[in-house]
Amino acid sequence: MKVLISGGSGLIGSAISEKLLSEGHEVAVLSRSSKSPKQGIKAFVWDPAKSHLDEAALEGVEAIINLAGSTIAQPWTPHNKELILSSRIDSTRTLVEALSRQENQVHTFINASAVGYYPNSFEQEFTEADPPGSDFLSIVCQKWEQEASAIENLSMRLLRMRIGIVLDNEEGALAKMALPIKFGLGSPLGSGKQWMPWIHKDDLASLFIYALEHSEIPTGVYNAVGPYSVRNEELTKALAKQLHRPLFLPKVPAFVLKLILGEMAATALASNKVSSARIQSYGFKYQYNRLEDALAALYPN
């Protein structure tokens, strides 16, 4: 199968591309740069802010994975918040418009979203049927999912994936948590009680490819999270244990995080316990069923 991945040069796109290539699929990416992210992957240039896409990118493509968007791990200034939202809306719209005007063979469109869609809760476990929250990230997710819904008019499958916290040892939230722990300066954040719906990056790549390959999985929303969520305190302790470092500092109070990170502190303090039951009901199996095994694979002794 030929798969086109927007934002395919990033953390998630690289993991999916690598796995697709290893399974004999063909991969191309849509990027703001013409540089190929990896040997064997062709990059097609686009400029979503100007609705521009090199239409040769769609030739022979059977599935599209739309990941592109400006990182949320940047100061949430008014300008950056606008970019976080508009980059996702523009990218999705540019793809929808290209698919609408150009004949194509695309049968499946996977659109990224995030567990930030859900409201914060220290008790409730969220399923795909639950209503959204009202904070900035939730609004971004709602508008992103809404923009992608235009795909449903194009007679192809639309799978919207609410992605959890992707575990990787080089990029993303876990790598940021590991750094102070390695220097003996780690501690849980805020109350430490907030739920974190983790997923190992290889399991996330497998989940996306499983969804592509199983046409019986219908159009809809799926939580792309691991088999269970853990509290921040539990993840911090398990990570410190895997890194053989002590955790002796007090928790970093929420107000200190807000002073340092501003509004972006919301990303560290968010609490979402998220169910993976729906994707599992279609037969998806995890390689990493236990957090400890996922951490051991990322930080081998």
Q: Which residue is nearest to ligand NAP (CB)?
A: 10
**Which stretch in 83-91, 212-220, 248-256, 275-283 sits in contact with ligand NAP by CB under 6 A?**
83-91
The C-alpha atoms of residue 210 and residue 190 are separated, in whole angstroms, by 36
**Please, which of residues 34-73 interact with ligand NAP by CB under 6 A?**
48, 67-72
**Which stretch in 10-18, 97-105, 271-279, 285-293 sits in contact with ligand NAP by CB under 6 A?**
10-18
Return the axis-axis angle of helices 11-22 and 201-213, rounded to nearest 10°.
60
Q: Which residue has the tokens 């907030």?
A: 194
Q: Which amino acid is at 91?
A: S
Single out the residue of 25, 27, 28, 31 in contact with ligand NAP (rule: CB under 6 A): 31
Per-residue binder mask for ligand NAP (CB under 6 A), 206-245, x = binder: ----------------------------------------
By CB neighbour count within 10 A (0-12 exposed, 13-18 middle, 19+ buried), where does 234 fall? middle
For every residue of 134-157, DSSP letters joined together read: -SHHHHHHHHHHHHHGGGGGGTSE
Nearer Cβ to ligand NAP (72/243): 72
Nearer Cβ to ligand NAP (9/256): 9
The C-alpha atoms of residue 149 and residue 58 are separated, in whole angstroms, by 19
**Please, which of residues 147-166 interact with ligand NAP by CB under 6 A?**
163, 165-166
Nearest distance from C-beta of residue 204 to ligand NAP, angstroms: 8
Q: Report CA-CA distances (Å) from 285 to 19, 91, 162, 206, 230.
A: 16, 31, 17, 9, 19
CB 175 within 8 A of CB 169: yes
Count residues near ligand NAP (CB under 6 A): 26
Q: Which amino acid is at 286?
A: Y
Per-residue binder mask for ligand NAP (CB under 6 A), 169-208, x = binder: ---xx-----------------------------------
- Asked whether position 16 contacts ligand NAP by CB under 6 A, the answer is no
The C-alpha atoms of residue 29 and residue 19 are separated, in whole angstroms, by 14
CB 287 within 8 A of CB 206: yes
Nearest distance from C-beta of residue 64 to ligand NAP, angstroms: 14
Q: Please enumerate in sequence order all residues whose Cβ is within 8 A of that of 73, keeping only pairs 6 or more positions apart, or say none.
A: 176, 264, 267
**Please, which of residues 86-105 interact with ligand NAP by CB under 6 A?**
87, 91
Structure token pair of residue 254: 């929420």
Nearer Cβ to ligand NAP (255/265): 265
- Chain residues in the site for ligand NAP (CB under 6 A): 7, 9-13, 31-33, 48, 67-72, 83, 87, 91, 112, 114, 163, 165-166, 172-173
